[in-house]
Amino acid sequence: MKPMTRAEFISRLADRLGYLPAGEVKAAVLAITERLGLALRNGERVEIRGFGGFSLHRRPPRVGRNPKTGEAVELPARFVVHFKPGKELRERVDAVREIRGTPLDGGEYTATVPSADTADNPNGE
């Protein structure tokens, strides 16, 4: 599955919000991402209820390897953006994966749809 680009995201959002011009949707998305980045650069944590939280995590300096030569390379300490999904988002993603029959663990998965008689009585009694 290929990742959705920002342009595709804006296009889909504009289609869904047909009452807003695409230019306004683009401006809103860009304003949100710019403000999110600014807050993170200032060391703030950003939390969007029902979606998740963004924060910075510090990675200590370490010795890495050049993949071509195998030579040791000193990598400096840096900050990386960390996203922790909220409970509502996790539940919505899990529900979609169950409906589509996508394995949650990457292995094979067979979606089971309860029959009409077991839907009323899930314990089979």
Q: pLDDT value at position 102?
A: 58
Secondary structure percentages of the chain, helix, strand, coil, to 5 = 40, 20, 40
User: What residue segments make up the domains of the chain, in order of their start?
Assistant: 1-44
Whose structure tokens read 């409906």? 99
Q: Span 50-64, mean pLDDT?
A: 95
pLDDT tens per residue across span 8-52: 999 999 999 989 999 999 999 999 999 999 999 999 999 999 999
* Amino acid at position 76, single letter: P
Q: pLDDT value at position 106?
A: 54
**Could you tell me what percent of the chain has a pLDDT over 90?**
69
Provide the whole-model pTM.
Answer: 0.65
Whose structure tokens read 């509502």? 88
